[in-house]
Amino acid sequence: MVFDKKEECGLFGIYGASDAVQQTFFGLYSLQHRGQESAGIASSDGENIQCYTGMGSVGRVFRSGGSALEQLANPIAIGHVRYSTSGSSKPINSQPFITEYSQGQVAVAHNGNLINAPLLRAEYEAYGHIFKSTSDTEIISHLLAKPTHVSKSDPLAHVLNHLQGAYCLLFMFPDRIEAARDPYGIRPLCIGKTAEGHYCVASESCALDAIGAEFVREVEPGEIVTLNQDGVSSRFFVKPGTVKPAHCIFEHVYFSKQNSNIFGQNVHEFRKRLGRQLAKEHPVDADVVIAIPDSGSSSALGYAQGSGIPFDMGMVRSHYIGRTFISPDQKMRELQVRLKLAIIPEIVKDKRVVVVDDSIVRGTTTRSKMLALRQAGAKEIHMRASCAPIRFPCFYGVDFPTKEELIANNKTIEQIRDFIEVESLGYLSLDGMLGCVDRPKDNYCTACWSGEYPIPVDVRLNKFTMERHQMTLFDNTVTEL
């Protein structure tokens, strides 16, 4: 990737394990690539829920297994790593959210974006509801607490039918975990089982691998899965088959970890397919194929296989700097890119170099890396992106910039080539991308490339829609800026 965008959140939950909190910590650690702004774990002893959240990475928040985990130690736990797609990066927006209402306590963790949250919040505020955060997730707790919803035979299913957009949700009540996935299945969510027989849920299967759990299956679109003392059970809040799936193909292109299996397909193998297809669509005479690590590595390997051009490590990534899409502004993103990626001059000097990345968003950091390659002595640079040009923003949980900031929205391919200063530029076609999936092509969301949104959206929405005041928390003091 070009390290100038963010991605989404990660969820993990486990029921009944004596070390559930420790397992959740490890699960979140393996999902750190999905968000580094904040982390949190909520746990229950079967009667009471407690929660600990903080800003930063999992290791920083929990100090790699310190006293916070010991204080949380309980047999039921859910956890969350966040990057902000709704509501800014503040402690008050860290998850899980814990609430107490007429039915008792509940902790909620969310991956995705609710496009009708501003409307719902305005409605509830008109009736005197008070919100403590600016995240779209908090509205779910208010929906759960509404008396007319509480009185339903299945309150949670009733509430979920009020939500519009992309969501995978973990609800922890004192005695159980409920995991839910939106009817379109936009974001991934899966079920695992540990060697000791404890069931768990996670955003990606790599989190199951981290704790030695076996993959059982995906949570189906529109399904609620319950983990409790009886094991695992399931029900649907929408009739199966009534909504066509719209899996986010960008999960495969960039978001998910290479060893994860999502939407019935391994991420690494999928990206290699993209690279091989890219080599067919945009061949070039060159001496070496290199990747923008790490998300471009699998596609670069596929390009080398498809083209016959040797693959080598022309860039090295520092693993001590987090994924730069997490950074809140462009200046910081560019600084982190310079610190994070280093060129190996001996690989590129006097060579015709094919550079493969997963995507180009704004193009600014791509340009800086191409300049660095040129300074390292590359004779020719041929840029290849393993997805189609991104021309439209995402409203389903990806913090892409506005339409005006997307370089492919306001420049032709040739103009982009001139801007990033390379000899040639090739994007994989949308048809080529869809030709690499295992499931039917119309089961995937392609909105950021095609502009065809499976769920109608108000294009004026952005992550700060529910922010009325810009506030910063210093210790326990709220200061308006």
Query: In the structure, how many helices (H) and strands (E) does the chain have?
Result: 18, 25
Cα gap 189→11, rounded to integer Å: 8
Q: Is 369 exposed, middle or buried (0-12, 13-18, 19+ CB in 10 A)?
A: buried
Cα gap 33→267, rounded to integer Å: 14
For the question of residue 200 being annotated catalytic, the response is no
Cis peptide before 418 (omega within 30 of 0): no
Q: Which of 9, 168, 190, 200 is catalytic?
A: 9
Please, what sign has the CA dihedral across residues 337, 341, 345, 348?
negative
Interacting residues of 445 by C-beta distance below 8 A, sequence separation 6+? 184, 186, 246, 247, 248, 249, 396, 453, 454
Q: Which whole-number Å values give the CA distances from 193 to 51, 132, 227, in the listed order? A: 24, 36, 11
Q: What is the DSSP string of 246-298?
A: -EEHHIIIIIS-TT-EETTEEHHHHHHHHHHHHHHHS----SEEEE-TTTTHH
Q: What is the DSSP string of 329-396?
A: SHHHHHHHHHHHEEE-HHHHBT-EEEEEES--SSSHHHHHHHHHHHHTTBSEEEEEESS----S---S
Cα gap 314→376, rounded to integer Å: 10
Interacting residues of 25 by C-beta distance below 8 A, sequence separation 6+? 41, 58, 62, 65, 69, 79
Q: How many residues does the chain have?
A: 481
Q: What is the DSSP string of 47-107?
A: S-EEEEEEES-HHHHHTTT-HHHHHH--SEEEEEEE--SSS-S-GGG-SSEEEEETTEEEE
Torsions phi, psi for 11 (to 5 deg): -125, 145
Q: Are 158 and 144 in contact (CB under 8 A)?
A: no
User: Which residues are designated catalytic?
Assistant: 9
